[in-house]
Structure formats: structure tokens, C-alpha cells
Structure 1
Amino acid sequence: MTQSPHSHLIDLPDSALWSGISWMDFARLSARERSATIVVLPLFGFGDWGYGQPLDLEETLGTAVLRHALERPGKNGAHVLVMPPLRFVLGPYVHNVFGIDFETAMELVHEIASGVRAAGFRKLLLFTTSPWNEELADAAGRAMRVKLGIQAFRVSLAALGLDLHPTRSVDRGTVQAAACACYRRGPDAAALSVEAATLREFRPGNFEQPGPVPMRGTLEDSIAAGEKLLAAAGRKLAALCLEIIRRPALPNDGRIAARRPADSPRSASKKA
């Protein structure tokens, strides 16, 4: 695919960016090339997760994992095409910023998925970083399967070993190490001095402000540990992408055939 110079919308290689391909390049893609491509839509929110790092922590971590995954070339001609991140997603607590409501978020994801379908792609991976958007991705994936005939998949940062959930996470220190590796700096001491709100389990729970997570050991130790964690998460994501590409295409171009009255359970019971 021919690439054109442009300002990056996300810090990833040009060859993997949806925004780095011209409309003529899209037009030249064969059906086989499209079927061997996974389109990734990152869902990156903003918020203070208690790590004493900038509010773009989700995007910084998610992009780093994607970069590691893209460094592992796929087999059988598999290709990953990453869309510009959707940065306005669910943010139900005061520690989130720029959050939107569920209905608007669903409409946004559906609109983007419609464009992916119109461009001739059939496999869409929703990559979520915030635990508050995991169920949104599940619901959106089911809706686009029914309405658009898209084969939807969902991978969360938590499933790759970096869980931002304040109480579900087994070890929040792993995210702190990964954050240090991304920013090449330790947490802001002033931010870590904020007293944590009392946390209750999600559903619906109360996460007004996730508790502070201090850095373990020296900055150099944290960066080294974080780089290993990011690389491991990237390997997991690359393996999942390869598994997705090997999934057979949906029959009937994704269209769900209407059930005939004679095929319904009620009709069958009458015949019996």
C-alpha cells in the first residue's frame, strides 16, 4: 500500500494506520486483501486512575501495546489496520474526563463500523483500555454483527495483563511500571498524596477517585519491568490478531437469514 506523509493521529507506524492510506489505495485492495485485514478501533478514554501520570494514560498504554504487537509480523498475509482512536467514550465517574453517555457512545461506534463495512472490511476489533468500556464494546459488537454483518471482536487491556480496574486488578503495580516505561518518568508525588476514596465493587460501585499507586523501587527498575510487561501484552495481542485472521469469514457476507415460519420451534412442535 502506498503511504503518504501526514501528521500522526496515533503514535504507530505509517504502514499500520488507516489514516495513512489514500482513497485510491483503498480502491485498489482486492477482496482477498480485505479479508486478510483486521481493522482495529481503539477506545481510549481520559482520566486519573491513581498513577500520578498524565490524563492520557489509557492512550499511552494502549498505543505502546499496539506498537509491540505490530512489531511481530503476521503469517498468511495477515495485516492490521489501526483506525484513529475514539477518545470520547464512557466515563461514568468523576475521575474520568470528557466522558459521554452510553447511547451516544453506541452511535459513535456504530457510525465508525458502518464506514469500515462500506470500505469492504468485515473483521473489526474493538480494543478497550478502560474497564468502564468493556461492556460497551460487547454490546456494540453484537449490534454491528446483527445490523451490519461485521465479524466483531473485543480485546481489553485487562485481558493482556494490564488491568486499570481499581479493585479487580490483581496487581495495580504492574500498570504503574508500564506507565513509567511509557512516560520515562515516575509518578507525580503530589498526585499520589491524594487520599483515596472508599471503593466498593463495581456494579454499580463507587469509584470517585481510584487510590494512589506508588512506584516500586527505583525509576530504572520500574521502567525495565514495565518494558517487559508491555512487550508481553503486545505478544498476546499479536497472537489474538493471528487467531482472528484465521477465523473463517461469516457466511452470506455476514447477512443473517430470516427464519421461515416453518422453521420456528412452534411450527416444529405442531408438526410433531
Structure 2
Amino acid sequence: MFTRYEGAAWEERFLPRLTSKQVKELPKESTLVILPVGAIEQHGPHLPVMTDTLIGEATVTLALEKLKPDARVWLLPPVSYGKSNEHLGLPGTISLSATTLQSVILDIAESLRLSGFHKLLLFNTHGGNTDLLNVVSREIRIRHDMLVFYLSPSSLGGAEDLMPADELEYGIHGGDYETSIVKAIKPGWVQDQWLVSETPSMTGQKFLTLEGKIRFAWRMADISDSGICGDATQATAAKGSIIQERVTDILAEVFRELSEFEFSDLRAKAKAGAER
């Protein structure tokens, strides 16, 4: 079960627990700073409105605990609010505008650069942030000459053998996947008596998808009465634990790879290949 501010990730890799002197003296080369970006928004009648931020914090915590001691990876406090205006009007949703969220992330990146850091990972656990983070990542690269990465841990898989294909495709909000993870990391925060199963029907749509190759703009009220998309009634803590272990195994490798990556490596490899 996840506990905030405890364990190796928070004691050994939480950047704000250091003093200004300690931050100044940190080696900045091959050092990755992780900024979790989540959301506070409705997740149906059964999940906490903090679901996305909670999953992000718990996932990055477990992944950091799997790193080798010599890995130069540091964690920042999460940006707990996201661009969630597709859920506005549903109780508990607190949304930032796209402009506000972009400005917050740009300001954080600039501050990190002025402290000497040049590698930043935007660790996203809310689908509504994805397109904006794509844009803001490039802006940071252009404005501050930083190496910027962004990822969503759910894109790394981990549930293909645990859930049916339809749930993996359409269970995008408060369904089996998210509910199973919250059951594993904070079981007391799931209201089992109000579990819901609701999935919009895409039958007859040859090309359109909710989140895929050809998408359409939607508000949650357009596609769901309950506020969720997926089957939360099938969720179990056991499935959530398996997903978390699989995803964080991958993330531990990802974090090290990102901390060591430089654009010069790409150019050198391309040049060496051309000379063969």
C-alpha cells in the first residue's frame, strides 16, 4: 500500500528535501528530474477525485525504489491539478486551463534550468493532459535548451493478459484498469458498493476511436452517464498489483536510460553508421 513521503524514493530521491547548498552541489550531468503531472477530477461514484494524481505518485515511488543507488534521478512534488475541463460540472473536478497548466510547467522548467538541471521528464497520469504536454515539451526544449521527455505509464502496457480487449480499448476512465490499481495502492479509497460498468458503444464506427488513430473531441457528459468509461465491477487489487509491478519494472529501466541520453549520442551513432 502506498504511503506518501516514506521509503527510499522520498528519503533518497525527493529533490525538495535537500538544502539549497546540496542542490547546488549535485552533479547535473546525466541527471534526470521527474515532474509527475496528474489531475483532480471525478472518477465516477466509486473512485476518489485524486485518482490520477494518486496513481502517478504511487507508480513513480515504486519505480524509483527499484533503481540502483548510483542512478541520478530526482523526484519533484507533483502538479496535482491538470487540464480536466472535459469533466467540469461533475462534482469534485478542479481543472486548470490549458494556458495555466502550460505556464506552470514552463515556469518549473525555467527554474530547474536556472538551478543547473537540463533533463526533465513530464510523468503524466491523466489523458486530458497528453496533447498539451506534447506541445509544452517542445516549448521547453526551444526556450530553455533542455532535454524534455514525457510519458504516460499506462502506455507501457502490463494488463494485456488481465483484461479483455474491449476493456483495454475503451476502459479509459475509472474502469477495470484504474480501479484495480487504486484497490492495490489505497484500498480504503475505493467505494465497492458503488462500482459501475459503462462503456460507450463504438459499434459501426469503422475509423473513429476514443483515444487512438482517429479521434473526436468529447466531454465526459457526451459519452457517459455515470462519469466513467469501463467496467469497474471486474477490478481487483491482485490485478492492480500485477500491473504496478510490471509497469514499474519497465520504468526503472526507462528512468536510467533517460538520465543517460544525450542528443549527441544520436548524431555520433548516425555519423558512425554513415562512415561504415
Match runs of 1:124-143 below 5 Å: 124-143=120-139
Deviation at 1:105, TM superposition (A): 1.1
Q: Which residue of 2 aligns with 1:114?
A: 110
Residues 113 and 146 in structure 2, CA contact (< 8 A), matched pair in contact too: yes
Larger displacement relative to structure 2 (83-92 or 201-210): 201-210
Larger displacement relative to structure 2 (119-128 or 168-177): 168-177
Structure 2: tracts of 5 or more residues without a match: 160-166, 203-208, 222-226, 266-276
> Which runs of 4 or more aligned residues in structure 1 lie more than 6 Å from their structure 2 counterparts after TM superposition?
162-166, 194-200
Would you say how many aligned residue pairs link Structure 1 and Structure 2? 237
Residues 65 and 231 in structure 1, CA contact (< 8 A), matched pair in contact too: no
Q: Which residue of 1 aligns with 2:258?
A: 244
Q: TM-score, with normalisation over the residues of structure 2?
A: 0.74
Deviation at 1:107, TM superposition (A): 0.7
Is residue 2:45 matched to residue 1:54? Answer: no
Match runs of 1:9-28 below 5 Å: 12-28=9-25
RMSD across aligned positions (CA): 3.4
The C-alpha deviation readout for 1:166-199, integer Å capped at 9, x for no partner, is 8374994232211110112484245435977889
CA distance in 2, matches of 1:165, 1:56: 22
Deviation at 1:147, TM superposition (A): 0.4
Q: Which residue of 2 aligns with 1:179?
A: 182
Rg larger in 1 or in 2?
A: 1
Residues 184 and 237 in structure 2, CA contact (< 8 A), matched pair in contact too: yes
Question: Residues 72 and 226 of structure 1: is their aligned pair in 2 closer, same or farther, counting only changes over 3 Å?
Answer: same
* Other structure's SS at 2:28 match: helix
Structure 1: tracts of 5 or more residues without a match: 1-6, 252-272
Question: Residues 237 and 204 of structure 1: is their aligned pair in 2 closer, same or farther, counting only changes over 3 Å?
Answer: same
Identify which of 76, 91, 95 aligns with 2:84.
91
Report the identity percentage. Answer: 19
CA distance in 2, matches of 1:55, 1:12: 24
Q: Which residue of 2 aligns with 1:81?
A: 74
Question: Residues 65 and 8 of structure 1: is their aligned pair in 2 closer, same or farther, counting only changes over 3 Å?
Answer: closer
Question: Residues 11 and 136 of structure 1: is their aligned pair in 2 closer, same or farther, counting only changes over 3 Å?
Answer: farther
CA distance in 2, matches of 1:117, 1:52: 41
Q: Which residue of 1 aligns with 2:218?
A: 205
Letter in 2 for 1:230: Q
CA distance in 1, matches of 2:25, 2:186: 39
Question: Residues 127 and 45 of structure 1: is their aligned pair in 2 closer, same or farther, counting only changes over 3 Å?
Answer: same
The C-alpha deviation readout for 1:215-245, integer Å capped at 9, x for no partner, is 337xxxx222211211111112111112212
Residues 41 and 82 in structure 1, CA contact (< 8 A), matched pair in contact too: yes
* Other structure's SS at 2:122 match: strand
Q: Which residue of 2 aligns with 1:260?
A: none
